Amino acid sequence: MQILVDADACPHQIQKTITSIARAHALQCLFVSSYAHFSYQDFQKDYLYVDKSSQAVDLVIANRVQVDDIVVTQDYGLAALVLAKGGKA
């Protein structure tokens, strides 16, 4: 089980909270964001940057999610893909 985060629209304070929860439960956590949202604050977390094309972040998360993974997103389309693959959105 891991936590995947659609980090493009996720505030840094929420990212810190997610990281804290992941550590407390010994879960791997991956933040996925486009280069358009690059921040030096992100170096202390596990971050994956993708190009800024439409839906690039969603596609990366949808391709990586596995059964019982947790995905944090505000995107209904991505949430539907996650649920169809057995993940929790």
Q: What is the mean pLDDT of the chain?
A: 89
DSSP symbol at 53 = S
Mind listing the pLDDT tens digit for each residue in 44-76? 568 888 888 888 999 999 999 999 999 999 999
Q: For residue 38, name the pLDDT band (cuts at 50, 70, 90).
A: low
> pLDDT above 70 covers what percent of the chain?
89
Report the residue count for the chain.
89
DSSP symbol at 38 = -
Beta strand spans in 1-89 (E): 2-6, 28-34, 47-50, 70-72
- Distance between CA 81 and CA 89 in Å, rounded? 9
- Distance between CA 72 and CA 81 in Å, rounded? 13
Q: For residue 40, name the pLDDT band (cuts at 50, 70, 90).
A: low
